[in-house]
Structure 1
Amino acid sequence: MPKFQFIPALTLTLTALASNCVGAASFSVVQLERQGSSSVATEVYVHGDIAAGDGERFRDLARRHEIKSGTVYFNSVGGRLDEAMSIGTSIRRLGLNTGVGNREAATNRLMPAECLSACVMSFAGGKYRFLDARSVIAVHRFYSRSIGSEDLALGQIVAASITSYLTEMGVSPALFEKMVSVGDQLTKLPLAQAEAFGLVNNGVLPTEWSIQGVAGRVFLRGSQETWNGEGTIELSCAPNGYLVLDAGFGAGANTDRILSEAVNYSVRSGRDFIGVDLLRPASVQGDTLLSSASVSSSLAYSLSHAASIGFSWHPSGRDIFYGFSIPTSGYEDVIRSFVTHCSRHQ
């Protein structure tokens, strides 16, 4: 599904939060109109050293501007570790996304930037974390200026705190091991390595597949949240070796539009689109588009060996589709076992 495209509003709202603390980070808020929508996209820019009190300054900014969604962009060489983690925690609680960039005043374009040292901890707080190939993320080992038994004990506490924080944010603790291994030398993380650590997720959260039971009904459930919405697949056993597939797609403001435009439907098995008829008319519950289809034994077998499973809604007369596909990597045994169970016990 196409992503939102942002265009500048006729009047940009640009607010800087002045700080009396020398060397503290500056914060600014920019609001951009969404193309084809009356809503606005909020962008927060963090520039400069992260200093004492910046965690509270960020929270104050969010309260005063009633920021409940949007993206926080960093252009910072780092600073205080505790304040950086405080900013990251606030970002996660607000459900904001993060990126590395700086908006150029003369052209109003988003330009490459850098997020170094402690800034990486703030960046990790984003729900969805993006990194332009031209921007830089770099890490090093955090250290104390003095050496002694108390400092060594403090170092162990800091190490545990960083590891716990990264895990909570969905980032691999291997990132901390990388920080330790490079020592005091500030080291750039290649984009591929940042992705491998889970520090950059490009708007895609990890997949989950599990067998669940609710009110006597047992089903296989897969889910994944992405920048474009949350997709869920539920497979349950049906007579004669068939399965019932229930698909849910939380597409935000686009949900009602998809419902009104869709005339054809397909189950996605890897790269293949298999046309299906719905068991009942598609509907919307809350912000989620719901559709149910019957899955034959042959299609069920195909799904159990597919690299991904998904569902799509197709408008009439256009070579586009809306939908999602959930990777199955790491869950192949669970999926195949459930499909085999259905084929043998129905």
Structure 2
Amino acid sequence: MSTEDSQSGDNRFRRSPTGPAVAPPRGPAGQAPPPVQPPRRRRHFWSVAIFILLVSGVCIRAYRDLSQPEAWHYWKDQYVSPSLTFSLIDRVDLDGAAQGRRALFVSGTIGPAAATLFRDKLDQVNLAAGDIVLLASPGGDLNQATIMGEIIRQRSLATAVGGADASGRVKPAYCASACVLVYAGGKTRFGVLGSALGVHRFVTTRPVEDPVADTQRIAGAVLGYMTKMGVSSSIVEAMSETRDIRWLSPKQALAMNLVTDPLGKP
């Protein structure tokens, strides 16, 4: 083999058939070649798949929860269109009583989320013991009303039926049906002259197997609640007499101990 053949053999991978010799790329001496990165497409696919499963699980659970009418009504009342409205009054004047006290004016229908909204608002305005909850409501959810009354009693707040003008002077209003249970929660229950308290028989609105037994159960629960709040059992008798609203006279409300501190002559 000639020298030319030998060189030709050594350079057969470095010589271009149509051009000059091309040397293969070489890294620095002693340096390892860069590692080969595995494809990331598979890892990305599983991340997306897990995320979709998690979101789907949350959506399915939320759908199941909100598919119940009670849950939907509660969600709507709390987040979409609350049935109660609240206004803080810095200084309330109840015909010379409770001057300088703060008051939270609560008006509207007592909806499925009323107790939660009420508690959150009380936490926000930070009423002190002896401050007043002013009520003006046609009633609503019985269970929510009892919870609201329990909250009022736990915080040693007073109650009154009425609205208030810009100066803080209380004007007459009415409180009927379940609203009376909220009013009964007051440690002191002011009787505003001209305001009205209305009661009636409580009945369930959902289908039940024995309506009579269910009505008796509700009456027993109302009696237990009113007795706990210091109201005479005669109020339950007044409730049971009619399904229509019965407006109590100031003397009747005072005799039942529903009103504990009348303002003006009953």
Fold match (TM-score > 0.5): yes
Of 161, 181, 191, the match for 2:250: 191
- Report the 3-state secondary structure (helix = DSSP H, G, I; strand = E; otherwise coil) of the residue aligned with 1:20: helix
Is the contact between residue 203 and residue 218 of structure 2 (CA under 8 Å) also seen in structure 1? Answer: no
The structural deviation recorded for 1:175 is 0.2
Of 89, 95, 107, the match for 1:47: 107
The structural deviation recorded for 1:62 is 1.6
- Quote the Cα distance in structure 2 between the aligned partners of 1:32 and 1:143: 39
Is the contact between residue 23 and residue 49 of structure 1 (CA under 8 Å) also seen in structure 2? Answer: no
Is the contact between residue 208 and residue 214 of structure 2 (CA under 8 Å) also seen in structure 1? Answer: no
- Report the 3-state secondary structure (helix = DSSP H, G, I; strand = E; otherwise coil) of the residue aligned with 2:88: strand
What residue is the counterpart of 1:72 in the other structure? 133
- Report the 3-state secondary structure (helix = DSSP H, G, I; strand = E; otherwise coil) of the residue aligned with 1:145: coil
Equivalent position amino acid for 2:196 in 1: V
The structural deviation recorded for 1:146 is 5.7
- Quote the Cα distance in structure 2 between the aligned partners of 1:108 and 1:87: 23
Instruction: From the two aligned structures, give the one with the greater helix fraction.
Output: 2
TM (normalized to structure 1)?
Answer: 0.49
What residue is the counterpart of 1:31 in the other structure? 90
The structural deviation recorded for 1:79 is 0.7
Of 177, 184, 189, the match for 1:117: 177
CA distance change for structure 1 residues 33 and 78 in 2, over 3 Å: closer, same or farther? closer
CA distance change for structure 1 residues 155 and 21 in 2, over 3 Å: closer, same or farther? farther
Equivalent position amino acid for 1:193 in 2: Q
The superposition leaves residues 196-220 of structure 1 with CA deviations (integer Å, 9 ceiling, x where unpaired) of: 11100107xxxxxxxxxxxxxxxxx
Q: How does 1:237-316 map to 2 (within 5 A)?
A: none
- Provide runs of 4+ in structure 1 moved above 6 Å: none
The superposition leaves residues 259-278 of structure 1 with CA deviations (integer Å, 9 ceiling, x where unpaired) of: xxxxxxxxxxxxxxxxxxxx
Deviates more, 1:137-146 or 1:172-181: 137-146
- Quote the Cα distance in structure 1 between the aligned partners of 2:170 and 2:92: 15
Q: How does 1:137-176 map to 2 (within 5 A)?
A: 137-145=197-205, 148-176=208-236
The structural deviation recorded for 1:33 is 8.5
- Report the 3-state secondary structure (helix = DSSP H, G, I; strand = E; otherwise coil) of the residue aligned with 1:149: coil
1:81 aligns with 2:154: no
- Quote the Cα distance in structure 2 between the aligned partners of 1:66 and 1:108: 18
The structural deviation recorded for 1:32 is 1.9
Is the contact between residue 92 and residue 103 of structure 2 (CA under 8 Å) also seen in structure 1? Answer: no
Is the contact between residue 23 and residue 48 of structure 1 (CA under 8 Å) also seen in structure 2? Answer: no
What is the identity percentage for the equivalent residue pairs of Structure 1 and Structure 2? 32
- Quote the Cα distance in structure 2 between the aligned partners of 1:138 and 1:128: 19
CA distance change for structure 1 residues 88 and 190 in 2, over 3 Å: closer, same or farther? same
What residue is the counterpart of 2:237 in the other structure? 177
Is the contact between residue 19 and residue 26 of structure 1 (CA under 8 Å) also seen in structure 2? Answer: no
Q: How big is the alpha-carbon RMSD for the aligned residues of Structure 1 and Structure 2? A: 2.4
What residue is the counterpart of 1:201 in the other structure? 260
Larger radius of gyration: 2
Is the contact between residue 27 and residue 47 of structure 1 (CA under 8 Å) also seen in structure 2? Answer: yes
The superposition leaves residues 136-161 of structure 1 with CA deviations (integer Å, 9 ceiling, x where unpaired) of: 11111111236653433332221111
- Quote the Cα distance in structure 1 between the aligned partners of 2:169 and 2:127: 22
Equivalent position amino acid for 1:197 in 2: M
What residue is the counterpart of 2:81 in the other structure? 22
The structural deviation recorded for 1:21 is 4.7
Equivalent position amino acid for 2:90 in 1: Q
What residue is the counterpart of 2:156 in the other structure? 95
The superposition leaves residues 182-205 of structure 1 with CA deviations (integer Å, 9 ceiling, x where unpaired) of: x111111000000111100107xx
- Report the 3-state secondary structure (helix = DSSP H, G, I; strand = E; otherwise coil) of the residue aligned with 1:166: helix
CA distance change for structure 1 residues 146 and 20 in 2, over 3 Å: closer, same or farther? closer
CA distance change for structure 1 residues 150 and 108 in 2, over 3 Å: closer, same or farther? same
Which of 1 and 2 has higher RCO (CA within 8 Å, sep 6+)? Answer: 2
- Report the 3-state secondary structure (helix = DSSP H, G, I; strand = E; otherwise coil) of the residue aligned with 1:95: coil
The superposition leaves residues 81-118 of structure 1 with CA deviations (integer Å, 9 ceiling, x where unpaired) of: 1111111110000000000110124x543211000111
